[in-house]
Amino acid sequence: MYSSNRKLSYSLAINEALYQMMELDETVFLIGQGVKSPWYVGNTTRGLLETFGSERVIDTPVSENAMTGAAVGSAIAGMRAVVLHPRMDFMMYALDPIINEAANWSYMNGGKASVPIVIWGIINRGGEQAAQHSQSMHALFSHIPGLKVVMPATSYDAKGLMVSAIQDKNPVIFIDDRWLYNIEDVVPEELYSVQIGKGVIRKEGKDVTVLATSYMVQEALKAASILENENVAAEIVDLRTVKPMDTELIFESVKKTGRVVIADGGWKTCGLSAEISAQISENILEYLKSPVVRVALPDIPAPASRPLEREYYPTCNNIINAVKNVLLTG
């Protein structure tokens, strides 16, 4: 039973998870670009360098491949590494140590070796950051065997999933969205974990299931509140973990409502929404009253101008329109 009812911002929830795990386990360390800079990482690493020193909080040059390779090697050698990519777009420079080494190591060693590493990527969408600083790569990493991918949507989950990721004996891609950093909800002071691979129903409903991740969960909840005034009861399912996906929870909700809208902050083609649609059609197609509708990014790079950004990024209004479309067709 948790004693705390205090509220904490998303960024400070991550900070507390890192602090508590580093205090608990001296093998845990943080390495990455800008780990001591609020401009890069907000409040997520506040006070860690002062508390744990530069041997456990390592601020690196701009060298994504080198810092990730060093972290993977240290994890293989017995440390628990958290490697920070403040703009996950540039994790592409580190694909070799992530995919060829970290993801494959346990398999290549017959399960007798492990790589306890958290590869933490921050999405920086919006703010006129354009194509090279705004991308969410969760679908790409979800495609790779040997990687787990988590995308918390609340402060509570940000702390709990970071703790679980650090405790995991093999690689976890932890993806957060800077748009979530200032939201607040109840976060216990005690150390706790959120199980990787388990989603949660954020709001119960009977008319339509809205499946969402990360920031789109917040937009889905806004949409559900507006739709409620129109006598539409939308069930909001927060996947929490993209891989392994909680298909049991998804199927249970879809069987109940018979209608599905998928809200994803990634691109539509070959993205997370496509995978969820495939899972539903392959396993419970007979329960659908209407075709699945997807709300996702258009298949173009992010624009640099604010007016174009407003058209590019989906919001609660896109989800509302998708729900109405689903209801009309079934």
52-67 tens-digit pLDDT:
999 999 999 999 999 9
Domain end: 154, 186, 218, which one? 186
- Banded model confidence at residue 38, pLDDT cuts 50, 70, 90: confident
Is 72 within the bounds of a domain? yes
- Judging by beta carbons within 10 Å of its beta carbon (0-12, 13-18, 19+), is residue 320 exposed, middle or buried? buried
Is residue 143 part of the annotated active site? The answer reads no
Is 1 within the bounds of a domain? no
Q: Which is the catalytic residue, given 133, 138, 235, 309?
A: 133
Domain residues for 222? 200-329
pLDDT (tens digit per residue) in 102-160: 999 999 999 999 999 999 999 987 776 787 888 899 999 999 999 999 999 999 999 99
Is 175 within the bounds of a domain? yes
Q: What is the per-residue pLDDT for 129?
A: 77
pLDDT (tens digit per residue) in 246-287: 999 999 999 999 999 999 999 999 999 999 999 999 999 999
**Average pLDDT for residues 162-191, to the nearest whole number?**
96
**Average pLDDT for residues 70-78, to the nearest whole number?**
97
Q: Are residues 20 and 169 in the same domain?
A: yes
β strands within the chain, DSSP E: 7-9, 28-33, 57-60, 80-85, 117-123, 148-150, 172-177, 184-186, 200-203, 208-212, 234-238, 241-243, 260-267, 293-297
Is 97 within the bounds of a domain? yes
Question: Could you tell me the two tokens for 84?
Answer: 């920070």
- Banded model confidence at residue 3, pLDDT cuts 50, 70, 90: low
Is 195 within the bounds of a domain? no
Domain end: 186, 208, 228, which one? 186
Question: Could you tell me the two tokens for 233?
Answer: 């009861």
Q: Are residues 118 and 251 in the same domain?
A: no
Q: What is the per-residue pLDDT for 305?
A: 87
Q: How many domains does the chain have?
A: 2
- 287 in helix, strand or coil? helix
pLDDT (tens digit per residue) in 150-166: 999 999 999 999 999 99
Q: Are residues 27 and 119 in the same domain?
A: yes
Q: Are residues 177 and 215 in the same domain?
A: no
Q: Does the pLDDT at position 1 exceed 90?
A: no
Is 309 within the bounds of a domain? yes
Is residue 85 part of the annotated active site? The answer reads no
Domain end: 186, 213, 236, which one? 186
Q: What is the per-residue pLDDT for 2?
A: 55
Work out the mean pLDDT of the chain and round it to a whole number.
95
The domain spanning residue 277 has which CATH number? 3.40.50.920
The domain spanning residue 133 has which CATH number? 3.40.50.970
Q: Does the pLDDT at position 233 exceed 90?
A: yes
- 82 in helix, strand or coil? strand
Q: Are residues 85 and 158 in the same domain?
A: yes
Q: Are residues 233 and 160 in the same domain?
A: no
Q: Are residues 13 and 46 in the same domain?
A: yes
Q: Which is the catalytic residue, given 64, 101, 219, 309?
A: 64
pTM given for the model: 0.95
Q: Are residues 169 and 27 in the same domain?
A: yes
Question: Could you tell me the two tokens for 299?
Answer: 């298949």
Q: What is the per-residue pLDDT for 194?
A: 98
Q: Are residues 128 and 242 in the same domain?
A: no
Is 193 within the bounds of a domain? no
